[in-house]
Amino acid sequence: MSVQELVVRRGRRSGVTTMVAVHSRTLGPAVGGCRFKVYPRIDDAIGDVLRLSAAMTRKCAVAGLDFGGGKSVVALDAVPTAEQRREILLDHADLIESLDGAYLAGPDVGTGPEDMLVLSERTPHVFCLPEEHGGTGSSSGPTAVGVLAALRAGARAVFGDHDMKGRRVVISGYGSVGAHLAADLVEQGAKVTVSDVDERRLAAAGEQGLGVARPEEVLGIEADVLIPAAVGGVFGPGTEVAAPLVVGPANNQLTDDMVAEDLAAKGVLWIPDFVASAGGVVYTLGREAERLTHAAALARVETLEETTRRLLDAASANGTTPLAEADALAEARLTSGAGPRTPSPREPRTAA
């Protein structure tokens, strides 16, 4: 599943390099978030956009969506001013528009609904505009719902039930999704500790009665569940993890797919990130492409529990890993092809 198209362009307004990777359109137009981030080198940004677009292909295929995988990156060399940010986003929107609907953008690290609104000034191929502008707004809530659905399946496999009361949970990353997860798990009776590189977020977590830890400490904390909700590349060869269950929304958590086997050999159940993190895209596409109600779209997100359970059952029966089974499911769907394509944002729907 090699990348179909990579376009890298220097913006005419801002001079900043932006890029789009379309990994697959086998099942439909490519969807994926727009990452707005400072990179040491352009090659680092290109590597990131390629990895992330491939993960989106797997995410959409496993979740049963009629969309392919893509991603876009704004490769910053410094944090821009508000005026510069707008110029950069408009340049990026021009790049997205030049692809003529092959890639549909949404928020990602460093961007949100207001940024999608700026993009929409130059291209209609955008998801998650603010609700007052006709979009679904932030997808962090539905993403958290999907993580919790996958967590329930994982907890039953590891602990025999999904009851979180008294369970020790460590969340690495206390951003919007991490905060949703912490609140939900505390409500379920879990003992939650969070970490983040942002001291203000840690202070806020402490004020809310959560345990706090330094980012470098999280892998060694004795816990029942570890939730990676920040950056990728968390687990490499030889990484030691003190929790028996790992499930979270951070993208590209493994430095290499072979690490999944290493974790399994150490007795750690790692649920693939592209499975656990699919709630946001499932919800958004349900609402904006299929015009589902809020309740119906959330119900679809909840089906990630059953998807995860099936993957875990298959891994147990076949003596493989959940990653191997998820990849097999994705490959089977990509090989069989798509059914009728789901309409894209702003595409008129005709009556049957």
Give catalytic residue positions.
71
Q: What number of CA atoms fall less than 13 Å from residue 149's CA on the CB side?
A: 27
DSSP conformational letter for 259: H
Report the SS3 class of residue 34.
Answer: strand
Residue type, 311: L
Quick one: which of 229, 258, 288 has its CA closest to 104?
Answer: 288
Task: Name residues whose C-beta falls within 8 Å of residue 110's C-beta, 6 or more positions apart in sequence.
Answer: 35, 36, 37, 74
Find how far residue 45's CA is from the centre of its chain: 17
Q: Which residue has the tokens 């890639």?
A: 103
E strand segments, 153-283? 168-172, 191-195, 211-213, 225-228, 245-246, 269-270
CA-CA distances (angstroms) from residue 325 to 10, 62, 75, 332?
A: 40, 10, 34, 10
**Can you tell me whether residue 191 is helix, strand or coil?**
strand
Q: Which of 233, 225, 238 is nearest to 254 (CA)?
A: 233
Nearest to residue 116, comparing CAs of 102, 126, 103? 126
Q: What is the largest CA-CA distance in the chain?
A: 57
User: Phi/psi of residue 20, each to 5°?
Assistant: -130, 135
What phi and psi values does residue 191 have, to the nearest 5 degrees? -95, 110
> Which whole-number Å values give the CA distances from 347 to 166, 217, 300, 341, 342, in the listed order?
48, 48, 22, 12, 10
